[in-house]
Amino acid sequence: MCYDKEDERTNAGDACAQPGKAASDLRYLRLLSRDFPTVSSVTTEIINLAAILHLPKPTEHFLADLHGENEAFQHVLRNASGNIRRKVGELFAGSLRESEMRDLCTLIYYPEQKLELVKQTDAHLSDYYETTLNRLITVCRSVSSKYTRSKVRKSLPEEFSYIIEELLHESGDDHNKYAYFNVIIRTIIATKRAEAFIVAICYLIQRLAIDRLHILGDIFDRGPGAHLIMDTLCGYHHLDIEWGNHDILWMGAAAGNLCCIAGVLRLSLRYANTQTLEEGYGINMVPLATFAMETYADDPCTLFRPKTGGSDVSIKEKTVRLMAQMHKAVAVIQLKLEAQLYRAHPEWGMDDRRLLEHVDWERGVVHLPSGCYELADRFFPTVDPAAPCELSPEERELMEHLRHSFLISDRLRRHVDCLLSRGRMYAVYNSNLLFHASVPLNADGTLREVLVEGRAVKGRALMDRVEEVVRTAFDDDAPARERASACDYFWYLWCGPNSPLFDKDKMTTFERYFIRDAATHAEEKGWYYKLRDSAEVCDRVLDHFDVTGPHRHIINGHVPVRAVRGEKPIKADGRLMVIDGGFAKAYHDTTGIAGYTLVYHSRGFQLVQHEPFTSTEEAVREGTDIKSTTQIVEMTGQRMMVADTDIGAELRVQIADLEKLLTAYRRGLIKER
């Protein structure tokens, strides 16, 4: 492809049209000539790029708020939100029974597991392999048809690349190649490579079914498999991640922010999920367990029993009791640590959240602006009424142990590096503005100005500034003071009132634990959430981010759409789509569904509403799929081509540059090599 430096490309100018220009004007074209040293190579590339512009637009896949639900995530990824099932139906509707199509889809989703079942039950494996290979090649040929041979070739598994390429571009229906095609299939079986070949081509189908994956934040917390999701994402071929507040909390913990570490532990214990911490990242929980058992030995910790309703795992009462003790211990520590941060950062405007200082410890009540409330739990053995926000010596020692455990976790660091390298606060792809939660607004719909580390910014500048601060926390070359302040800022991003990842007036952690009056638990959403039904407001935001095109959208997650209450994910006359439908099992009762995914292919947008996923084992054994309902959000009048996408715009620039190089060769300004 062309030499890809945007600054040199735009500054090159039309040197060929003005041969008298200084030699420096030809610098870019000379660099380009290293990749295309002859007229022939230039013309070949122009032809290639021009042809690519007329291929159908590849499929994009949008997911949000995965919250550690790895099994459901893997299934949605493997079935491409039902697109593979739809493709199989189109190809075989007239020739296969429904049960045969279901078995073929299950094989594509879970090839190793399905083949194990087949080997146990099918006495004629050679026949099965031959039939199955022919069907898989048909599916693979269809899903690869949107791509150039070069792009498909780069996706092929190395071991079988030559054979798959031959099979994809030859057909058993061609009389002249019939014997050639079938001998390849039979030889694969005869050499005992059928099973490995089937596995390879199934994963190739999965890969080609989705060209680009967009994850709109909140990979972590609640479910037990965030580390497994991150393993998958770190190796995914085309991916971007827009950070969510739960991701930022874990990134803050990985940076050593004690408050974020306490927050991560508290949420993990609240949802009875220590698997990610212990098995995923090797976090040593023994010091916390020991401290909690000693400190809260006589405390029933009733208010801190973990939420296990959404879990498939049965937990023994003894374990639940220990989790409750650990949960309370770290919750109290978090309340102390966050109060210290609010005192250290008055610019955050969160002094009113230092609630431990508003407790009358003798009477067992807390004073809030809305009134005086009795505490639901009055046992605080580590709180000094004279200095309620100070950690006890034992708590300080515990948190240093935990900080060390987070900082030395290699796997956590790898995953955070992935979040930094492939993630950001927002992105614009093909006329779609992607961010996790909010762009803070004023009551009149104008952009709200927010102070971020000494600089007042709003809108796009706010997002850019926040991202700069996040990256500073991991920059070893940044001044120590800046790094420390940036590290603190992760907590504001998690729960600050003007944080674009939160945007509520407060996070009522204290109230939900210690005050029974549910009215105190309310968290008022920012104006973005109240105004985003307005087409005018959404257009204003899109204009501010320079999002253009006749079909432009904002795509968000963060706030679960309560379908059970009749809430709709499509807002502002189709300009905004909220795709948080509650992937996490803990949300299923609230939302009434198990998540949304959005598919953007060459004919338009489809929003897929999913029902709860049972298990991988049942999907393989019974051939069950996630029950999904597809809603047509927006269909284009004519099929979109690569020319209509951001990549198409880049290719046109590259073609223009190559045409300049071609002119330079023909005029003798640059010599062929």
Its domain, for residue 565, covers: 60-218+557-640
Cα–Cα distance measured from residue 323 to residue 292, given in angstroms and rounded to the nearest whole number: 9
pLDDT in tens, 470-526: 999 999 999 999 999 999 999 999 999 999 999 999 999 999 999 999 999 999 999
Residue 71 lies in a domain: yes
Q: Are residues 661 and 622 in the same domain?
A: no
9, 28 Cβ separation under 8 angstroms? yes
For residue 175, the model assigns a pLDDT of 64
Separation in Å, CA 152 to CA 156, 163, 209: 6, 13, 12
Residues 183 and 70 in one domain: yes
Residue 355 to residue 131: CA distance in whole angstroms: 68
Higher pLDDT, 197 or 638: 197
291, 302, 270, 319: which is closest to 379 by C-alpha?
Answer: 302
Task: Provide the 3-class DSSP secondary structure of residue 367.
Answer: strand
Q: Are residues 400 and 298 in the same domain?
A: yes
Q: Is the pLDDT of residue 429 over 70?
A: yes
* pLDDT at residue 660 in the model: 93
| Any domain includes 157 | yes
Half-sphere exposure of 336 (CA within 13 A, CB side): 22
pLDDT per residue as tens digits for the range 430-449 = 999 999 999 999 999 999 99
Same domain for 20 and 85? no
With contact defined as beta carbons under 8 Å apart, do 576 and 529 qualify?
no
Per cent of the chain over pLDDT 90 is 69
Strands 60-63 and 596-601, sheet pairing: antiparallel
325 plus 346 within the same structural domain: yes
User: Using 50, 70 and 90 to split pLDDT, how confident is the model at 20?
Assistant: very low
Mean pLDDT computed over 20-43 = 83
Closest of 623, 630, 618, 611 to residue 102, by C-alpha: 623
Q: pLDDT confidence of 6, banded at 50, 70, 90?
A: very low
- Is residue 140 located within the same domain as residue 27? no
Same domain, 46 and 91: no
Task: Write down the pLDDT at residue 120.
Answer: 87
Which amino acid, 575?
R
Average pLDDT, the chain: 88
Tally of domains in the chain: 3
> pLDDT value at position 149?
86
The predicted-structure confidence for 362-406, as pLDDT tens digits, reads as follows 999 999 999 999 999 999 999 999 999 999 999 999 999 999 999
Same-domain check for residues 287 and 338: yes
* Mean pLDDT of the 166-194 span: 81
The proportion of the chain whose per-residue pLDDT surpasses 70, expressed as a percent, equals: 88
For 61-113, the pLDDT digits (tens) are 999 999 999 988 888 889 888 888 889 999 998 899 998 998 999 999 999 99
Digit-coded pLDDT (tens) for 268-280: 999 999 999 999 9
Q: Is residue 119 part of a domain?
A: yes
Q: Which of 95-104, 254-263, 345-354 has the lowest mean pLDDT?
A: 95-104
Whether residue 584 is predicted with pLDDT greater than 70 in this model: the reply is no
Are residues 146 and 285 located together in one domain of the fold?
Answer: no
Is 68 part of any domain? yes
Q: How confident is the model at residue 7 (pLDDT cuts 50, 70, 90)?
A: very low
Do 73 and 22 share a structural domain? no
232 in any annotated domain? no
pLDDT of res. 5 = 35
Specify if 123 maps to a domain.
yes
Q: Which of 124-128, 214-218, 607-611, 660-664 has the lowest mean pLDDT?
A: 607-611
Asked whether residue 245 is domain-assigned, the answer is no
Residues 71 and 165 in one domain: yes
Give the pLDDT score at 453.
Answer: 93
Residues 264 and 188 in one domain: no
8 A C-beta contact, residue 104 and residue 137: no
Of the given ranges (341-350, 433-442, 626-635, 651-660), which has the lowest mean pLDDT? Answer: 626-635
Q: Of how many residues is the chain composed?
A: 673
Cα 375 from chain centre:
39
Question: The pTM is what?
Answer: 0.89
